[in-house]
């Protein structure tokens, strides 16, 4: 461990931020707000926090927002904020999935940067349309696949990019949970209700909610592109309307003309004993790595024929990509909120460069609309393969 | 922990044992011998330790065998020992797979009990024929799926049988290794050579060598029967003649008319960083369990909505099935050889009951020829599915 | 895991905060700032960030402070801010130890709440004087023994208070590090220089820097009061001026007339392989617990004669005290900054209650000046015992 | 992992072994018998298994011993076996501590090799006398500090000897258990009764039963000699007659004129949640190591400034000293019985060399009567220091 001096904290003016969704009773909105605050690059100044006007207003008051900037709809917020000289420069979209498309479109088309929760949209058609919008927009689109912000995930990716693993052969991803082991959506629990409702979530249940995270992370670390998948998709809990477990076999395109790699993905919301058991393992011809979200400050790294190494965030063996996004010394754990905050800080770096008309530092990394399209395509392919009795489906 | 008095050690006369295979340069033969010695139920008195006569003799001499009982072939041993009044009562078959069938048949037909290494045979036809032989024989057939001898595996099974997990939904099995990450069979390494040779191993590489273990253990613990599987089977190392990685999706028959369970199995010999990473996880409607061979004295057990429990061998929470096969107090680890020895002791209990013409204690458990047929059927189905691009294959 | 709705975020006006120390090149200042921001209860508006005027000004500019409120000394800041109608309401003191006393005194006497890094002061005399000042002051004093903010530490304490451990027999504390295994202070590394300098740190090296944390945490969880200690105190690195390792035997006063408990404390800066290996274990007549800072979301809890339980932050088994300070669902790790932020939020709750003239919620917990005096008394006793060849010294 | 060919199993004739103690109801006797069998160097042929004649006979019958060689006392066995041409060549002494001295003396003086459980004797006077006897005897004396037989303990020692840790600064030992957390000796539990009885155990309770193991292991690995210690010795359970917890500060002699090293030892039988939590950590100027008995196939090894390494038994990074005593491939765990068996096999190597009049292979290592004297001196010093309120006592 080395106790280092703090990095020079940025002196750029704070980015004026709005939020869509995330009012009283929501979960992920508060996470986004903490993430936005941690590194001090944003100031929350406006919100369309709920689709219920009274709740939108009350939620804004809770957060100390100017009542004049608490809107009853994102459309109104987009219009009014775009017209203000001190209007928001960026917006966080933290609603259920089915709202993402229209909301993101509204802000992007007004030149307001969008930081959007995943999955990108509730169906592939919307995802592709959103990509078109984003590609044409004068504003950035950042998708909060927040696990890509963990320092040891960055290090894993750097090891792969540096060739330390050799040619990748296997990518094993899993994300088991147990909170939907019983039909809790029937008790009215808000988080369970919308996440198991096709109208709000789209066609994927566990595949969309957590499978996309595991898939995104496997690709982020390995640098591979999925070619096709075969999925056995289940709904174990009687009465549930979306999948709560999926087994997925994957075939990735070979890199640089090399042999295709294979993968396995398991996502589950009925695996009793797991809270948020996201784990990614990647094996190449020269080395293998393993990372687990619940213990995120560690990365197992083994070179073929050498002892296993436990690389720690901030410790010996962690490279430049991890160091960039590390806040505190090794042995003092960083967690989920810090990783989430890193996505916000990467977004801020990109937004500030855009504002300044300069190039963004090439080491800045965040998930894009393209990653979002891939995620929705993954869910779509899982559901399609599931319907076809596990046949291979191209993505 | 409680330091308990030793269990009364059995006073039955030792069983006279022969061995086929396991001569100089072998690996698993020495394991079988240690396993046979640990609980003192056997006396090794004869051997056909190698198919090379000089080596057979030298290997026997190393082990202190009477030279007159060191045979150059199992056929000779079977004939000659069957004719001796003090001839062997049981035989351990520890050769490469392709010899299992003929050797087991020779001894079974002479009323000599057979303790045979897995997989049962090198192809399904032989497996079925061996089952016929075994079913008709006046001798027992025990297959050394040694992992079933671990106390915490017994406990896991007992938990399932007692309904503690509720209805089983998921069985996740994996057995990654890395010792064949490079083409070591081309260097002449004996263990690698025969295990990658179709003529000696049969059609399965990793599927037969380790996949069968994981599959057997998943079934042993869950009590489920496989219905069909879909496999993506690979040979990553150039020039290798058998698979070195397989991804398998599984569908188990529902129990007692219940909903079918699903499973995932991964076996690999090219997963860098894994030595013998056998892990089985089973999830039901009420609880989930996890067991890892490298840390075998622990069983994770979580009831839905309760804290995770770490049950230890010999400790609080371990039940009668585990206690039966536990030798030393909790906190003092038992390992692979002890589990293997338990298979030998279970076999001894069954053989002694057979000798005495009494019923064997119903708590005695060991893998049988039926488990062996299932194992070979699993390998056969994996290979078949692999050839059909991962189509579902009934087993 | 349950994904819960966010707790209603406080709508009280933000507390105006100043900072002493924590300028460019510092470490802990940035930590305090992130901690103050996370839950949004503070606004940093003034600073005496460095004793070098230019650096103070530059550091303030980095943080976006009004230049008029960037002071060259804490005395000036205390005077000037106390005189402003919009002056700071609270101040964070994040300097080396020897400055704590005078700075805290200056603000407390002006009715400005003080949030001060540990150890309280660099010597026991100052500590006692500061207690007098704090006791008389019209402002609160909060000491950032940040580890007391971890949810599972709160849970451990709650278990003890609820009698779940029975009568406490043993408290085992350790805090090994390795960053001072070599004489890095001789290379000019700023953090190492002041932490090994008696003039800035006081008489204790490892005992003051990290031993106090371990001791504080052992007392916080166990609820015990130290009676006497015997210490073997070492400086392993040649040329170092303060201790870098200490072994301490402890005797705690019996609670409610009960038998005295015993303890063991090890702090080290030369234990190669440890980053920030803070661990506390407490054993009573009925149960034992274990908590490790590097993996802070877990608490091992074992009742005598029952299986070990792994209680997780946010998960089943975590009680009300932990839930109060938990931000995100189980399985998503919180870390060091969140625990630190909890101290800031507890302080905010107390400060807001003081501002409103209301009683603070009795569940609000933070380390006080009394804890600070105990910490300095611990260091003083260690050094004294060390000089007396490990004789028992009353604290 | 490499699956290696079995080592050539020794063809030396088996050593004729007797046993003192270990009859029905005993614990450690069965362990010794399994250990003696595993590697096939011994044949148990005689016993004085109990001091109760009927029980001695019945116990011998259980083990299949010739009734003529089941003796009612060790004196009789020593006399009669020494007189037989086929008499025992070695004897295992597995009684409570107070019998060790007289029994060992009886056999050593008759030229019969002694394998004796620890601690050496129940008091220091006997220990010194036994050393005299052993030094003069024409037979070997082996003490079963069985933990020294673990491969990763051998590797740890080899790392120290090779200078990989640099100069040793710290040796931290602990051995917590919880099985005596309540006064179970008052229920008549045999193991608890004699282990808490000064007449049978000697002056030390936890210090003698488990503290000696931790101390022996710390010295075995570090190669250091203890100079003095200061101990706080407790009996927490009311009515107990021996200590059940001790905290010990240690000072080791500097090696080769170097700086003295320091140590900390904790042994406890009332630490709820621990089964057999033996752990040894050694820190030097260049590296640190950590080994835990419950997970014995792993050794943590960290070089200053490098990532932590997890060295596995049989795996990459394990050296020659570990390989010598490794039976099966990495990833297949060996445990307590295997380590115990290694002591027996080392003893066999030494005994066979003695029989042959040849030099024993210098890599053969086992605990000797000198280690035993040190162990008893350690216990004696702990008790003495405890009585003197924790004063430093030379050993």
Each residue's pLDDT tens digit, C327-355: 999 999 999 999 999 999 999 999 999 99
Domain that holds residue B156: 150-327+368-394
Q: Does B288 contact chain A (CB < 8 Å)?
A: yes
- Number of B/D CB contacts below 8 angstroms equals 177
Tokens describing residue C202 = 């006081």
pLDDT (tens digit per residue) in D84-112: 999 999 999 999 999 999 999 999 999 99
Asked whether residue C7 is assigned to any structural domain, the reply reads no
Count of residues in chain A: 395
Q: Does D24 contact chain B (CB < 8 Å)?
A: yes
Nearest to D262 among C234, C300, C304 (CB): C234
The pLDDT-based confidence of A1 (bands split at 50, 70, 90) is very low
Asked whether residue C107 is assigned to any structural domain, the reply reads yes
Position D190 scores a pLDDT of 86
Count of residues in chain B: 395
Once rounded to an integer, what is the mean pLDDT over residues A338-345? 98
Name the minimum distance, in Å, from the CA of C142 to any CA of chain D: 34
Q: Which of residues 118-177 of A touch C (CB under 8 A)?
A: 177
Task: Please list every residue in chain C whose beta carbon sits closer than 8 Å to the beta carbon of residue A24.
Answer: 5-6, 8
Position A27 scores a pLDDT of 83
Contact D302 C266 (CB under 8 A): no
Same domain, A184 and A261: yes
For the cut 90, the answer to whether the pLDDT of residue A5 exceeds it is no
pLDDT (tens digit per residue) in A139-160: 999 999 999 999 999 999 999 9
Once rounded to an integer, what is the mean pLDDT over residues C10-25? 88
Contact C29 A38 (CB under 8 A): no
For the cut 70, the answer to whether the pLDDT of residue A42 exceeds it is yes
Q: Which of residues 84-113 of D touch B (CB under 8 A)?
A: none
Tokens describing residue C261 = 């408990």
End-to-end Cα spacing for chain A:
44
Count of CB atoms situated within 10 Å of the CB of B66: 11
Helices (DSSP H) in chain C: which residue ranges? 28-38, 53-62, 74-83, 97-108, 124-136, 151-161, 190-195, 198-201, 206, 212-222, 320-324, 336-356, 369-387
pLDDT in tens, chain B (395 residues): 344 444 445 467 899 999 999 998 888 999 999 999 999 999 999 999 998 999 999 999 999 999 999 999 999 999 999 999 999 999 999 999 999 999 999 999 999 999 999 999 999 999 999 999 999 999 999 999 999 999 999 999 999 999 999 999 999 999 999 999 999 999 988 889 999 999 999 999 999 999 999 999 999 999 999 999 999 999 999 999 999 999 999 999 998 888 999 999 999 999 999 999 999 999 999 999 999 999 999 999 999 999 999 999 999 999 999 999 999 999 999 999 999 999 999 999 999 999 999 999 999 999 999 999 999 999 999 999 999 999 999 99
Tokens describing residue C199 = 């003039």
* Interface predicted TM-score (ipTM) of this complex, two decimals: 0.95
Asked whether residue A9 is assigned to any structural domain, the reply reads no
Asked whether residue B265 is assigned to any structural domain, the reply reads yes
Q: Which of D53, D19, D21 is nearest to D36 (CA)?
A: D19
Taking the C-alpha atoms of residue A110 and residue A89, their distance in angstroms, rounded to an integer, is 10
Name the minimum distance, in Å, from the CA of D299 to any CA of chain C: 12
Contact B308 C305 (CB under 8 A): no
A393: left (phi over 0), alpha (psi -120 to 50) or beta: beta
Task: Please list every residue in chain C whose beta carbon sits closer than 8 Å to the beta carbon of residue B307.
Answer: 301, 309-312, 315-317
Same domain, A127 and A161: no
pLDDT (tens digit per residue) in A81-128: 999 999 999 999 999 999 999 999 999 999 999 999 999 999 999 999
Position A12 scores a pLDDT of 75
Phi (first) and psi of residue D300, to 5 degrees: -80, 135
Once rounded to an integer, what is the mean pLDDT over residues D142-155? 98
Where among C124, C143, C162 does a domain terminate?
C143
Contact D327 B314 (CB under 8 A): no
Once rounded to an integer, what is the mean pLDDT over residues A217-232? 98
Taking the C-alpha atoms of residue C15 and residue C34, their distance in angstroms, rounded to an integer, is 15
CATH number at residue C35: 3.40.50.720
State how many domains chain A has.
2
Taking the C-alpha atoms of residue A62 and residue C305, their distance in angstroms, rounded to an integer, is 48
For the cut 50, the answer to whether the pLDDT of residue C391 exceeds it is yes
Helices (DSSP H) in chain D: which residue ranges? 28-38, 53-62, 74-83, 97-108, 124-136, 151-161, 190-195, 198-201, 206, 212-222, 320-324, 336-356, 369-387
Task: Please list every residue in chain B whose beta carbon sits closer than 8 Å to the beta carbon of residue A301.
Answer: 273
Distance of CA A251 to the CA centre of its chain: 22
Nearest to A331 among C277, C312, C332 (CB): C277
Q: Does C316 contact chain B (CB < 8 Å)?
A: yes
For the cut 90, the answer to whether the pLDDT of residue A213 exceeds it is yes
Q: Does A303 contact chain B (CB < 8 Å)?
A: yes
Torsion of CA B159, A183, A203, A106, to 10 degrees: -130
* B283-310 burial code (b ≥16 CB/10 A, e <16): bbbbbbbbbbbbbbbbbbbbbbbebbbb
Task: Please list every residue in chain A whose beta carbon sits closer than 8 Å to the beta carbon of residue C196.
Answer: none
Same domain, A186 and A244: yes
Contact B283 A290 (CB under 8 A): no
Same domain, C129 and C164: no
Nearest to D34 among B8, B327, B331 (CB): B327
Q: Which helix (H) or strand (E) holds D317?
A: none
Q: Which of B280, B285, B218, B211 is nearest to B248 (CA)?
A: B211
Mean pLDDT of chain C: 95
Per the CB < 8 A criterion, the answer to whether D21 and D94 are in contact is yes
Contact C389 D389 (CB under 8 A): no
For the cut 70, the answer to whether the pLDDT of residue C9 exceeds it is no
Task: Choose from A26, A40, A328 for mutation: most chain C CBs within 10 A.
Answer: A328
The full 3-state SS of chain B, as one line of letters, equals CCCCCCCCCCCCCCEEEEEECCCCCCCHHHHHHHHHHHCCCEEEEEEECCCCHHHHHHHHHHCCCCHHHECCCHHHHHHHHHHCCCCCCEEEECCCHHHHHHHHHHHHCCCCEEEECCCCCCCHHHHHHHHHHHHHCCCCEEECCHHHHCHHHHHHHHHHHCCCCCCEEEEEEEEECCCCCCCHHHHCCHHHHHHCCHHHHCCCCHHHHHHHHHHHHHHHHHCCCEEEEEEEEECCCCCCCCCCEEEEEEEECCHHHCCCCEEEEEEECCCCCCCCCCEEEEEECCEEEEEECCCCCEEEEEECCCCEEEEECCCCCCCHHHHHCCCCCCCCCCCHHHHHHHHHHHHHHHHHHHHHCCCCCCCCCCCCHHHHHHHHHHHHHHHHHHHCCCCCEEC
Chain D residue nearest residue B35, CA to CA:
D38
Name the minimum distance, in Å, from the CA of D179 to any CA of chain C: 9
Chain A residue nearest residue C13, CA to CA:
A64
Same domain, A132 and A209: no
Contact A275 C327 (CB under 8 A): no
Contact A331 C26 (CB under 8 A): no
Contact A273 B178 (CB under 8 A): no
Nearest to A5 among C38, C177, C190 (CB): C190
Count of residues in chain C: 395
Contact A262 B245 (CB under 8 A): yes
Asked whether residue C357 is assigned to any structural domain, the reply reads no
Per the CB < 8 A criterion, the answer to whether C138 and C314 are in contact is no
Q: Does B368 contact chain A (CB < 8 Å)?
A: no
Q: Does A331 contact chain C (CB < 8 Å)?
A: yes
- Number of B/C CB contacts below 8 angstroms equals 32
For the cut 80, the answer to whether the pLDDT of residue D36 exceeds it is yes
Contact A262 B232 (CB under 8 A): yes
Task: Please list every residue in chain C whose beta carbon sits closer than 8 Å to the beta carbon of residue B310.
Answer: 307-310
Q: pTM higher than 0.90, yes or no?
A: yes
Taking the C-alpha atoms of residue D34 and residue B341, their distance in angstroms, rounded to an integer, is 11
Task: Give, as one character, the DSSP assignment of residue D20.
Answer: E
pLDDT (tens digit per residue) in C69-87: 999 999 999 999 999 999 9
The pLDDT-based confidence of C11 (bands split at 50, 70, 90) is low
Task: Please list every residue in chain B whose beta carbon sits closer than 8 Å to the beta carbon of residue A302.
Answer: 178, 272-273
Same domain, C186 and C249: yes
For the cut 70, the answer to whether the pLDDT of residue D393 exceeds it is yes
Distances (CA, A) of D81 to C305, D72, D77: 45, 13, 6
Q: Spell out the residues 6+ positions from residue C116 whose beta carbon is closer than 8 angstroms to its own.
A: C92, C93, C100, C103, C104, C141, C142, C143, C144, C372
CATH number at residue B193: 3.30.360.10
Contact A337 C334 (CB under 8 A): yes
Quick one: how many helices (H) and strands (E) in chain D? 13, 14
For the cut 70, the answer to whether the pLDDT of residue A381 exceeds it is yes
Taking the C-alpha atoms of residue A303 and residue A290, their distance in angstroms, rounded to an integer, is 12
Name the minimum distance, in Å, from the CA of A285 to any CA of chain B: 7
Asked whether residue C41 is assigned to any structural domain, the reply reads yes
Strands A226-234 and A168-176, by their bridges, are: unpaired
Where among C113, C143, C173 does a domain terminate?
C143
Which chains border A (3 or more CB–CB pairs < 8 Å)?
A: B, C, D
Taking the C-alpha atoms of residue A306 and residue B108, their distance in angstroms, rounded to an integer, is 45
Same domain, A106 and A246: no
Nearest to D38 among B7, B25, B34 (CB): B34
Taking the C-alpha atoms of residue C289 and residue C159, their distance in angstroms, rounded to an integer, is 9
Per the CB < 8 A criterion, the answer to whether A3 and C179 are in contact is yes
pLDDT (tens digit per residue) in D275-306: 999 999 999 999 999 999 999 999 999 999 99
Once rounded to an integer, what is the mean pLDDT over residues D17-40? 94
Distances (CA, A) of D87 to D36, D93, D143, D345: 17, 16, 22, 20
Query: In a 3-state reduction of DSSP, which class is residue C293?
Result: coil
Same domain, A124 and A168: no
Q: Which of D9, D324, D348 is nearest to D150 (CA)?
A: D324
The pLDDT-based confidence of D2 (bands split at 50, 70, 90) is very low
Q: Does B178 contact chain A (CB < 8 Å)?
A: yes
Task: Choose from B177, B278, B332, B344 for mutation: most chain D CBs within 10 A.
Answer: B332
Of the CA atoms within 13 Å of residue A145, those in its CB half-sphere come to 32
Q: Does C223 contact chain A (CB < 8 Å)?
A: no
Same domain, A132 and A226: no
Position B11 scores a pLDDT of 63
Per the CB < 8 A criterion, the answer to whether C144 and C217 are in contact is no
Taking the C-alpha atoms of residue C237 and residue C185, their distance in angstroms, rounded to an integer, is 11
Once rounded to an integer, what is the mean pLDDT over residues C194-212? 95
Asked whether residue D172 is assigned to any structural domain, the reply reads yes
Same domain, C183 and C229: yes
Taking the C-alpha atoms of residue A122 and residue A113, their distance in angstroms, rounded to an integer, is 21
Same domain, C160 and C273: yes
Q: Spell out the residues 6+ positions from residue B377 whose beta carbon is closer than 8 angstroms to its own.
A: B124, B127, B395
Task: Choose from B167, B176, B240, B247 for mutation: most chain A CBs within 10 A.
Answer: B247
Task: Please list every residue in chain B whose beta carbon sits closer than 8 Å to the beta carbon of residue A382.
Answer: none
Taking the C-alpha atoms of residue B235 and residue B227, their distance in angstroms, rounded to an integer, is 26
Task: Please list every residue in chain C whose beta carbon sits closer than 8 Å to the beta carbon of residue A37.
Answer: 37-38, 40
Chain A residue nearest residue C62, CA to CA:
A11
Tokens describing residue C52 = 């070098």
Asked whether residue B193 is assigned to any structural domain, the reply reads yes
Distances (CA, A) of C77 to C14, C55, C242: 20, 15, 32
Which chains border B (3 or more CB–CB pairs < 8 Å)?
A: A, C, D
Same domain, C193 and C125: no
Taking the C-alpha atoms of residue A115 and residue A131, their distance in angstroms, rounded to an integer, is 14
Q: Does A79 contact chain C (CB < 8 Å)?
A: no
Contact D334 B330 (CB under 8 A): no
Per the CB < 8 A criterion, the answer to whether A45 and A67 are in contact is no
Nearest to C310 among B305, B308, B315 (CB): B308
Task: Please list every residue in chain A whose beta carbon sits closer than 8 Å to the beta carbon of residue D301.
Answer: 307
Q: Which helix (H) or strand (E) holds C259?
A: none
């Amino acid at each position: 461990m080395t106790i280092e001096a703090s990095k020079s904290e940025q002196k750029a003016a704070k980015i004026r931020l709005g939020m869509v969704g995330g009012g009283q009773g929501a979960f992920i909105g508060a996470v986004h707000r903490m993430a936005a605050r941690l590194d001090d690059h944003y100031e929350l100044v406006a919100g369309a926090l709920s689709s219920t006007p009274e709740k939108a207003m009350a939620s804004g008051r809770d957060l100390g927002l100017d009542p004049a900037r608490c809107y009853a709809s994102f459309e109104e917020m987009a219009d009014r904020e775009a017209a203000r000289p001190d209007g928001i420069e960026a917006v966080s979209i933290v609603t259920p999935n089915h709202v993402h498309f229209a909301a993101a479109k509204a802000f992007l088309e007004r030149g307001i940067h969008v930081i959007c929760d995943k999955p990108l949209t509730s169906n592939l058609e919307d995802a592709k349309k959103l990509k078109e919008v984003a590609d044409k927009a004068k504003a950035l689109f950042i998708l909060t696949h927040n696990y890509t912000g963990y320092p040891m995930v960055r290090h894993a990716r750097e090891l792969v990019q540096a060739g330390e693993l050799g040619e990748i052969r296997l990518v094993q991803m899993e994300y088991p949970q147990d909170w939907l082991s019983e039909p809790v959506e029937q008790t009215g629990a808000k988080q369970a209700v919308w996440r198991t409702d096709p109208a709000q979530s789209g066609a994927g249940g566990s595949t969309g909610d957590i499978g996309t995270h595991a898939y995104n992370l496997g690709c982020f670390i390995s640098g591979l592109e999925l070619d096709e998948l075969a999925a056995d998709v289940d709904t174990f809990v009687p009465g549930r309307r979306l999948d709560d477990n999926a087994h997925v076999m994957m075939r990735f395109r070979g890199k640089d003309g090399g042999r295709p790699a294979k993968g396995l993905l398991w996502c589950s919301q009925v695996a009793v004993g797991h809270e948020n058991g996201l784990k990614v393992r990647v094996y190449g011809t020269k080395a293998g790595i393993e990372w687990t979200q619940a213990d995120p400050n560690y990365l197992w790294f083994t070179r073929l024929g050498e002892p296993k190494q436990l690389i720690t965030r901030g410790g010996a063996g962690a490279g430049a990509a991890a160091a960039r996004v590390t806040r505190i010394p090794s042995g003092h754990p960083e967690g989920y909120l810090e990783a989430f905050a890193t996505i916000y800080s990467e977004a801020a770096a990109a937004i500030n460069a855009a504002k300044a008309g300069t190039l963004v530092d090439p080491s800045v990394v965040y998930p894009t609309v393209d990653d979002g399209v891939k995620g929705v395509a993954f869910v779509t392919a899982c559901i399609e393969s599931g319907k076809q009795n596990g046949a291979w489906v191209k993505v």
